[in-house]
Amino acid sequence: MKIQKIDKNGFTTTQQPGVEWNFISPCLLQRTITIKEGPENTQKHKPPRKDLLILLCTPVSPGKSRLISVIPTKFWTDDLFLPRWKNHMIQNLIIDSDLYLLFDQERKLMELGPSNWQNVCFVPTKADANVVAYRKWLKKYSGGQMDWGTKFNGYLQPTLPREQLMDRYRSHVVNCSSCNVAYKGFKALQISLQVFVVASVAIMAATKEGMITVPARTTFVVVIMLCFVGSKWLSHFINKSFHFHDYSHAFK
């Protein structure tokens, strides 16, 4: 990855032939992958296909930003068969992978000062060109840090526990229609299974011996156990997918 240009409007980097990153100040980052048609294509003058990744990261207050991502594409088909909420969960996992790391680095950067960012961020590879380019741009055109004016004093909020910092429900689910609907659907299914288990156990306890055959009773018990296990699994799945999914870089 190479830095092509840096000016007041942003910067451009190229990763490999056909892959380009553009930062448009103050907070828009766009990746463009251009795929040209192969020689086997018989259609002439067909324009190359493009895949875009658009990230709009708006600073809200010291230590907080609002991230909006858009992935318009016409030729990647892997995600077409996944529901929208599942795609969001996958994307959130990627964001979570760096969230706590950035949270910690931001505090170290505040302690050492923006001019010493190289001592906080270790960027030895060519893949880190975007980080280097952004830091150069920020230093040249904004003094290395965000200018909050008189609205904020620039101090970061107190250190938060991981469960609160990476709370997906409040940061995403309540604001996303597809994830909110999926969350409510899974919760309703979980409650239904729990009600079924409790009601079934009560019915089994109240049923006199001999009213139900042994095979039927055995089948009923198996169904109750499966529903109980299913409700427990759903509880774990809902919490991990829609509330809090911890991430450890040491094991990734």
- pLDDT one-digit tens code per residue, 14-68: 887 888 899 998 889 998 888 776 555 555 566 777 788 888 988 888 888 888 8
Q: In what order do the strands lie in the sheet with 19-24?
A: 2-7, 10-16, 19-24, 28-35, 49-61, 64-70
The Cα 136–Cα 123 span in angstroms is 13
The Cα 10–Cα 137 span in angstroms is 7
The Cα 95–Cα 231 span in angstroms is 28
Q: pLDDT-based confidence at 226, cuts 50/70/90?
A: very high
Comparing 214 with 27, which gets the higher pLDDT?
27
* Average pLDDT for 91-115: 78
Comparing 93 with 239, which gets the higher pLDDT?
239
pLDDT score recorded for residue 160 = 75
The Cα 82–Cα 85 span in angstroms is 8
Angle at 74 between CA 177 and CA 171, to 5 degrees: 25
Q: pLDDT-based confidence at 79, cuts 50/70/90?
A: low
233: three-class secondary structure by DSSP: helix
pLDDT score recorded for residue 251 = 45
Within a 10 A sphere around the Cβ of 88, how many other Cβ atoms? 21
Return the amino acid letter for 220.
F
* pLDDT of 250 over the 50 cut: no
Contact (Cβ atoms closer than 8 angstroms) between residue 21 and residue 31: yes
The Cα 198–Cα 204 span in angstroms is 10
Place of tokens 């086997």: 40
* Average pLDDT for 79-90: 80
pLDDT score recorded for residue 203 = 85
The Cα 24–Cα 31 span in angstroms is 11
Comparing 155 with 66, which gets the higher pLDDT?
66
Q: pLDDT-based confidence at 163, cuts 50/70/90?
A: confident
pLDDT score recorded for residue 229 = 94
DSSP label of 128: G
Average pLDDT over the chain, rounded to an integer: 82
Q: pLDDT-based confidence at 122, cuts 50/70/90?
A: confident
* pLDDT of 231 over the 60 cut: yes
The Cα 3–Cα 22 span in angstroms is 10
Tokens (6 digits) for 39: 């020689």
251: which residues sit within 8 A by CB, 6+ positions away? none
* Average pLDDT for 142-163: 77
pLDDT, tens digit (0-9, with 9 covering 90-100), for 182-209: 999 999 999 999 999 999 888 888 877 7
